[in-house]
Chains A and B, each alone.
Chain A
Amino acid sequence: DAMVIQNPRYQVTQFGKPVTLSCSQTLNHNVMYWYQQKSSQAPKLLFHYYDKDFNNEADTPDNFQSRRPNTSFCFLDIRSPGLGDAAMYLCATSRRRGDEQYFGPGTRLTVT
């Protein structure tokens, strides 16, 4: 089945230790998104790719970076995780901007 896959589902990292979260899709969608969601809050968009074109939200900290080496894969790099970065990270895709989005199951990040 076509889908959005995120690995790992749970990630524990130490304060300040770089961590990478991965996302892959079999939908062949042009747009891939990364959201941060903290407990009982709405998802907050960090950035998105339209094909290879990277678009950062204005309030996304520099600590967060992303790579999209090909259509199928997108990575979220957190260079120096702080305790405040503990959250659920959601990857999503859509055919075009503004279309319905397809979400992965999320990666729950814990920072110790």
Chain B
Amino acid sequence: SQQGEEDPQALSIQEGENATMNCSYKTSINNLQWYRQNSGRGLVHLILIRSNEREKHSGRLRVTLDTSKKSSSLLITASRAADTASYFCATVQNNAGNMLTFGGGTRLMVKP
């Protein structure tokens, strides 16, 4: 079953704008990960945030985690056309053998 739900399902912005994607989950987690997938390709790991962390940065990416609300957000600042992709959150649950469970993904389109 799907642990994470992502919002929005699709997002279209202009180059230079910021993009925010949200992920909610249902059960307690060890960590939460964000991945990017370009069309027809494999997934690329972006950031892993542990349950005892609240925020992590990597370049133009900022991830927050609120375990009390069981939610996370991915912010991409100063977006570029090359950021066009699907973005998935995935959780590692405490009681699921440490397997990743993916959310449905957000399809981001950045218009030049």
Contacts and interface: CB of A to CB of B under 8 A. Distances in A.
Contacts of A40: 105, 107
Contacts of B104: 41-42
Instruction: Tell me whether chain B's interface is mostly helix, strand or loop, or mixed.
Output: strand
Given A41-B104, A42-B103, A108-B40, A101 B98 contact: no
A106 B105 contact: no
Nearest to B103: A42
A103 B36 CA distance: 11
A96 B103 CA distance: 21
A75 interface: no
A103 B43 contact: yes
Nearest to B41: A105
Given A105-B41, A106-B42, A108-B40, A98 B88 contact: no
B98 A98 contact: yes
Most buried by A among B2, B42, B88, B102: B42
Interface string A77-92: 0000000000010101
B21 interface: no
Nearest to B89: A42
B31 A98 contact: yes
Contacts of B30: 98
Contacts of A88: 40
Interface string B95-107: 0011111111101
8 contacts: A6-B42, A40-B107, A42-B103, A42-B105, A44-B102, A92-B43, A98-B99, A99-B48
